[in-house]
Structure 1
Amino acid sequence: MALLLGSVIACAHLPPAPERAIPSMLAREGIGGAVLAIGPIGGPVRLVAWGEAAPGQPMRVGDRFRLASLAKPLTAATALALVRLGKLRLDRPLPETANGATLRQLLSHSGGWDRALTFDPIGDPVSAQRIGLADPDDCRVIANRMPANDFRPGERYAYSNIGYCRIGQAIERAARLDYAEAVARLILRPRRSGLAYLGLPSVTHPSRFSPNAWRALGPAGGWTGSALDYWRFAAGPVDPLVRFRPPFAVAGQSHYGLGWRIRPDGTLTHFGAIPGIFALVVRTPTHAAVLLTNGRPFDDEATSEALIRSLTRAMRRP
């Protein structure tokens, strides 16, 4: 099957590192199953499935997953496309925020909200009750209830779903389109990616989240799709602006650029983790890999780091 970004090969053989690492991780963490898409940019994509999509239902390479925070590189790519079109400005305060934060600051998680100091009800239904919302389904409603800021925008890094909700609003204003349609027109359709906003997964994600809570993730985490569809996005053109290094970044350590985490060697990564979900993308100059699962590990950061190392080694093999 010919594709814009190469052909697809469904197979059970991969370089040894991920072949061992991924099944081992699933067993250790009690996760039902996973699908991996991996391959050179412009070359053949290899798809591998492990485990079960639901009890008694084998995982298929085309199964659709909730993507959690893998939505953020997608939202960022759309915002940066609008910057290139002259419809958004990186360093102009956005009217969608009440604290003078700019698009650059929101994209790099330095927009002024710190969930460690307050909390982040987007993606956390329990916290939403603390601001008087029983079961919200719109991140904008949540963001409007939160304090204007916890620190001065641009001062430091603090991961924030609220900031990405506001980016979604800015995209709608600048594109004069619904957020999902703007992403589809500017990013997904040119890459022949079938990712869906607020779509339903075909796998079972064990979680107590209500349907409204999933929708409330919005531009920060509300996308669904297959590993191949996300691979088609991740293996596409990457705007050089994503490699922005904020002044507070620590030399020799990974930092968050504009929509991606950037490792010291230049590799781009992102993971998403909420109850019942763990998703990971790794992009090198020559390859891309996407791993989607229907369970969450006990330690998101440690699991992500181990898998990034494994996948990066695999992608460097001849």
Structure 2
Amino acid sequence: MTTLSRRRLLQTGAAAVPAIALGARPARAASFSLPVTGVVPSSMAGFDQAMQKYVTEREIGCAQLAVAKNGKILLARGYGSYTRTTSEGRVFARVQPTSLFRIASLSKNITGAAIARLAQDGKLSLTAPVASLLGLSADADPRLAQVTVTRLLQHLGGWDRAVSPDQLWADHTIAASLGISLPVDHADIMKWSTARKLDYDPGTKYAYSNYGYMLLGRIIEKVSGMSYEAYVKQKLLAPAGITRMKLGRSLMTETGMSEVTYTSKLTNKTVLDDSGTVVPYPYGGFNMPNQDANGGWLASAVDMVKWGFVFDKAGTVLNSTSLSRIFAKPEIGMNSGGSWYGFGWSVRNNNVGTLNTWHTGSMPGTFSFFARIQNGVSYCAIFNRREETGSPDFDSIDPILGQATGTVTTWPTTDLTPKYF
């Protein structure tokens, strides 16, 4: 769902991000209309101009941007519009700063925080073997016994989607192998995966694993005695003052007006039944509820930057020990670029003695980016489509927002957080 290897790794914050001219590409459609909502202080106009150009170049229908500094939301913007069919007909809506988007793998730092909270409360050991916690058999591969909670969190669990299928996107293969009907659920995915050998020795290399984070969701449920969604809402989001976020559903008919619609040129055979119907990929081409702990959350950009405040300092959600664990280097150390993967965050040192942390999210119909950089600045951008064949590079949002940060000479003082509670 997320490819980190192509990302520019926020080496030292805005000042050191490679400059990319905001006028590098011509607009793709002169007639492309872009309604906007929300608040943009004049001193932060560079952010808005960059986003409008980025969205227009890619003809993105729905997007959001939120920017914060030192615990205050300073910019909140919605871009574009969408229509949704309801019982009363087709309804038109402009994207608001509070509209909900699928955030894909930005969900991983939420799951990482939930695991850290369980450990903080003395309910879970981070060194516990996952097979024992979930009752998984290691008969197919004894190395499964070496997979710990921490190794799942840091993508060191032994599954490599460059070698074997990504279990969260192999519904048809799993159903056929198990001789069952679609849709498959978490238990089916675990049964199929556990019967297969690992791709490498756990703890020896980094390989991004959506399945590993799906397993973390099941651990949260097993240890807490609550559903994954209920635990996160009660123990993490509510204390942080976040009320809108929820897990997403697969079909447009299952969503409300506050959630944008998603766009993709791609189609897939539905994974929700055995009909073989070819559907738009974002709506039934994958099973959204199965993504939950891996990539299933709905949020707005303002929700995400507010969520990011939880990691700024110890508080009611996470204590200092938990924060240290979340951003600690893994047993394999840093990669060749000087960054590492923590509990749902990519991490690196910056040149002011603090950490830059970030993540991207990507699935058909969604691209998202969230970064916390030096000097207390954070920003989140979310879009209702992702890069596909023939479209401009979506990863360029990273240096573009970094460059926009450098255009702010005076940061505003008005806190928008109460406006978007």
Q: 1:198 aligns with which of 239, 248, 255?
A: 248
Paired with 1:141 and 1:240, the residues of 2 have a C-alpha distance of 35
Q: How does 1:12-161 map to 2 (within 5 A)?
A: 12-13=40-41, 15-54=44-83, 57-94=93-130, 95=132, 96=134, 98=138, 99-100=144-145, 101-123=147-169, 125=171, 128=174, 131-132=177-178, 135-136=182-183, 138-146=185-193, 147-161=196-210
Paired with 1:127 and 1:54, the residues of 2 have a C-alpha distance of 34
Q: Is the CA contact 1:256–1:262 (under 8 Å) kept in the aligned structure 2?
A: yes
Alignment of 1:288 onto 2:378: yes
Q: Is the CA contact 1:234–1:283 (under 8 Å) kept in the aligned structure 2?
A: yes
Partner residue in 2 for 1:5: none
**What residue identity is the alignment partner of 2:205?**
R
Q: Number of paired residues?
A: 309
Q: 1:171 aligns with which of 220, 227, 238?
A: 220
SS in 1 for 2:287: helix
CA-to-aligned-CA distance 1:98-146 (integer Å, 9 cap, x gap): 4121111000111111111111131455555564565435334213212
Q: 1:224 aligns with which of 287, 290, 298?
A: 298
Partner residue in 2 for 1:271: 360
Paired with 1:131 and 1:10, the residues of 2 have a C-alpha distance of 49
The 1:186/1:282 distance shift into structure 2, 3 A limit, reads same
**What residue identity is the alignment partner of 1:90?**
L
How well do the aligned residues superpose, as a CA RMSD in angstroms? 2.7
**What residue identity is the alignment partner of 1:237?**
F
SS in 1 for 2:119: helix
The 1:128/1:273 distance shift into structure 2, 3 A limit, reads farther
Q: 2:394 aligns with which of 266, 291, 303?
A: 303
Q: Is the CA contact 1:270–1:281 (under 8 Å) kept in the aligned structure 2?
A: yes
Q: Identity across aligned pairs (percent)?
A: 26
SS in 1 for 2:78: strand
SS in 1 for 2:72: coil
TM-score by length of 1: 0.86
**What residue identity is the alignment partner of 2:290?**
A
Q: Is the CA contact 2:100–2:299 (under 8 Å) kept in the aligned structure 1?
A: yes
Paired with 2:326 and 2:188, the residues of 1 have a C-alpha distance of 28
Q: How much does 1:252 deviate?
A: 3.7
SS in 1 for 2:231: helix
Q: Is the CA contact 1:33–1:51 (under 8 Å) kept in the aligned structure 2?
A: yes
**What residue identity is the alignment partner of 1:303?**
F
Q: Is the CA contact 1:137–1:215 (under 8 Å) kept in the aligned structure 2?
A: no
SS in 2 for 1:51: strand
The 1:47/1:127 distance shift into structure 2, 3 A limit, reads farther
SS in 2 for 1:263: strand
Q: Is the CA contact 1:235–1:288 (under 8 Å) kept in the aligned structure 2?
A: no
Q: How much does 1:172 deviate?
A: 1.4
Q: How much does 1:225 deviate?
A: 2.0
Paired with 1:296 and 1:124, the residues of 2 have a C-alpha distance of 20
CA-to-aligned-CA distance 1:131-189 (integer Å, 9 cap, x gap): 45654353342132122521111111111111011111111122222211111122100
Alignment of 1:250 onto 2:335: yes
The 1:251/1:189 distance shift into structure 2, 3 A limit, reads same
**What residue identity is the alignment partner of 1:267?**
N
* Structure 2 portions without partners, runs of 5+: 1-36, 85-91, 139-143, 250-254, 264-279, 313-322, 411-421
SS in 2 for 1:105: helix
Q: Is the CA contact 1:180–1:197 (under 8 Å) kept in the aligned structure 2?
A: yes
CA-to-aligned-CA distance 1:189-236 (integer Å, 9 cap, x gap): 001112112363621012424187111212101111222222221222
Paired with 1:27 and 1:123, the residues of 2 have a C-alpha distance of 30
Q: How much does 1:28 deviate?
A: 2.8
